Amino acid sequence: MARGQQASEELTEVLNQLWLLDTNRQKPGTDYIISLQGKAGYVAHGSNYARDRARAPLFAYVNEDKLKSIETYAHFINLLDNYEMSTGVSETVTSEELKENKLFIDAILETDVMKCAHKYLVGKGQSPSDPAQFKRQLYDIWFSLYHRDRRGGEDSSGFEHVFVGETKYGREIMGLHNWVQFYLQEKHGHVDYKGYKARGNKNTPDEDDHVLNLQFSWKGLVKPVGGSFIGVSPEFEVALFTIIFLMSTEKMTSVVVKVDEYMLELVVYRHGGSIGTSFPKLLSSNNRDL
């Protein structure tokens, strides 16, 4: 799959199956409420100043008790404090953290979402049918440590980059594409939402959209634009991006696909046998060109 290539009918079908099977997806307006506010402006490359077009947080409400009562979310949340923020600082994985990683993988493999992804990947000859071997494959893709910054040791992983976020040379935000982490960082005063990003001036995203392009600052650094699913389960994101990763050998894969009402560009960069980064870009929703 090359850059911006339209997804095949088969790939489109399986990604939509994952969407339908995601029973742990949270319901906008009920399980959480977001406040989109203003459209974010341009941020110059390398600048850490962004005009704030959103005085209030993005998340006005999240039912944390419900999240923590769902096994996959509970294990996911336990992983978010296991990482060094800055690249160039070697990660140290304790035995407790190793156990938490494995508990998370065990939990998501019990879901219909991951069972569907596994079946598809086995059928395509990309994953072993044995559950224990598939678990090892997932671990290597998401949790194996690698060098992202040559100044340090093994300082990064796919999970850290995509779901937790990290900084480069203390000057640039990388990753942080997960809504639960965004909410928790916002709640603790580390994230400042600056507004949504959209092409053109006529159309704006809806507050019940499950995919957003947004601008924010994190611990004083600005991310000019980042794409994120909103409300979806961690198993859905792992399943979706694992499929895109394994179905291509390119360093960068970009596939355009319609999932539910959303026309998305799904982007995955590989770092050897692991994910370097992965994120969605919202192109349109309900035929609204964003």
Annotation says 161 is catalytic: yes
The residue from 197, 210, 223, 281 that is catalytic is 223
72 and 111 Cβ atoms separated by less than 8 Å:
yes
- Which residue has 């309900």 as its token pair? 286
Q: How many residues can be counted in the chain?
A: 290
The residue from 75, 161, 210, 281 that is catalytic is 161
The residue from 75, 177, 197, 210 that is catalytic is 177
Going 11 to 12 to 17 to 19, the CA torsion angle's sign is positive
Chain centre distance of CA 161: 9
* Helices and strands counted in the chain (H then E): 9, 12
Chain centre distance of CA 97: 20
Annotation says 177 is catalytic: yes
Helix (H) or strand (E) holding 258: strand 252-259
97 and 220 Cβ atoms separated by less than 8 Å:
no
Alpha carbon dihedral 119, 158, 75, 121, in 10-degree steps, equals: 0
SS (H, E, C) 73-119: HHHHHHHCCCCCCECCCCCCCCHHHHHHHHHHHHHHHCCHHHHHHHH
| β-sheet bridge partners, residue 213 | 227
178 and 158 Cβ atoms separated by less than 8 Å:
no
Annotation says 223 is catalytic: yes
Using a 10 angstrom Cβ sphere, with 0-12 exposed, 13-18 middle and 19 or more buried, the burial of residue 49 is: exposed
Backbone φ and ψ for 256, nearest 5 degrees, come out as -100, 130
Task: Give catalytic residues, as residue numbers.
Answer: 161, 177, 223
